[in-house]
Amino acid sequence: MLKQYFASLVIVPLLSACMTAPGNYLDTSRLKEQSSVQTAGVYPVRAIDGGMIMEQARSRAEAERVQQATADQLASSGRYVYHVQPQDILGVTVWDHPELTTPTITSFSSGGNTTQTLAATLQQPYTTALPGQADPYGQTVAADGTIFIPFSGRLQVAGKTVGQIRDQVATSLVRFVRNPQVDVRVLSFRSQKVQVTGQVKAPGPLAVSDVPLTLVDAITRSGGTTTDADLQRIRLVRKKQLYVLDANRMLDRGDMSQDVLLQSGDVINVPDRVDSRVFVMGEVKTPAPLPMYRGSLTIADALTQAGGILDSDANPRQIYVLRGMKEKPTTPDVFRLDMTQPDSIMLSSQFQLQPMDVVYVGTASSTTFNRVLQQVLPTLQTLFYLKQLTR
């Protein structure tokens, strides 16, 4: 009778474990899970072999060819020449005729207390000459694209080069000045700019001046990139079209085709490496997401950075790579590498991973059996001790 009493004291708490067990838990009795997506029952798996490595090499060559064609499309044909637009400020000089010359005062003000020397103004186009800052005293190109010249009236200058404007002003003064000697220069480049955003130290607008502005120039003038910048996928938006440029090809191989000439209205975005990651999961020592530096990462690199596979738990015949789950979550591409073969070990250092790939290391059958035993043994021990108590 005493043994049965003690047994009841042990069994009752076990039966109500969900109510008395310490820690947080979720009562799922009121939850009903329904899936709106009908997933495929079978996923085809492709073995990683030498033929696949050759296929990868051809795909990379084709991708580089397409990127080269994109860079050629963006490249400027001919010599770069700046064209004046509304809001630019011009300085006009007519030699021996100071009454027709833009006054060369030593300072100027845009209203308020901001003043600046003319020498500093001439440096602005290469630093921070942008709308809203102090402007030099000169001929501001009006919204209709004209400037006012004494005796000549308003001249249409928008869309013309400095040389063309100089000849135009000289021709307009021939009736009033014998053999006029005219010089025209841009004092402030305010009409055209590009935007630099993303992983640069000083994002913001940059003025387009008479000096050609290339991709490297824009990044340099923005303070350079941060440590998280992904130089392989720099985005250029031009006239509602998106282009992807690879600055690594320029830095590593000297491919200057990627250093495209920028135009007014361009938007440069230097992304971070959030989308340039792979995930290593399964029977490895340190499962973790791994960044793809310079856009390159192989299976061997990923497994090494994850600490390697677990000697006692992993199945080296089941090294899987799942690809394309972001674009096609129900039908991803699945690849398998058998690392028990000598040639497969060499292939692991040649199979290139792509951003957002998942590398999964399978579990050995013996490990699965042992884990089941670890779950069952405590229950068997409990039942054994209960039986002993009820005797």
CATH code (residue 232): 3.10.560.10
Say how many domains are in the chain. 3
Residue with the larger pLDDT of the pair 248 and 106: 248
The parent domain of residue 331 ranges over 275-368
Q: What number of helices (H) and strands (E) belong to the chain? A: 10, 18
Q: What is the pLDDT of residues 309-344, one digit of tens each?
A: 888 888 888 899 999 877 777 788 899 998 888 888
Element housing 185 (H / E): strand 182-188
Overall average pLDDT of the 146-151 stretch: 88
- Say whether both 283 and 257 belong to one domain: no
- Say whether both 284 and 223 belong to one domain: no
Q: Residue 58: pLDDT above 60? A: yes
Tokens at 5, concatenated: 């009493």
Overall average pLDDT of the 254-266 stretch: 84
- Say whether both 149 and 217 belong to one domain: no
Q: Residue 149: pLDDT above 80? A: yes
- Say whether both 74 and 197 belong to one domain: yes
- Say whether both 138 and 157 belong to one domain: yes
Q: Residue 371: pLDDT above 60? A: yes
Tokens at 156, concatenated: 């249409």
- Say whether both 266 and 322 belong to one domain: no
Q: Residue 57: pLDDT above 60? A: yes
- Say whether both 196 and 242 belong to one domain: yes
Contact present, 57 and 352 (Cβ < 8 Å): no
CATH number at residue 148: 3.30.1950.10
- Say whether both 240 and 300 belong to one domain: no
pLDDT of residue 117: 43
- Say whether both 252 and 299 belong to one domain: no
Residue 247 binned pLDDT confidence (cut-offs 50, 70, 90): confident
- The verdict on residue 233 lying in a domain is yes
Overall average pLDDT of the 38-61 stretch: 80
- Say whether both 227 and 172 belong to one domain: no
- Say whether both 322 and 298 belong to one domain: yes
- The verdict on residue 39 lying in a domain is no
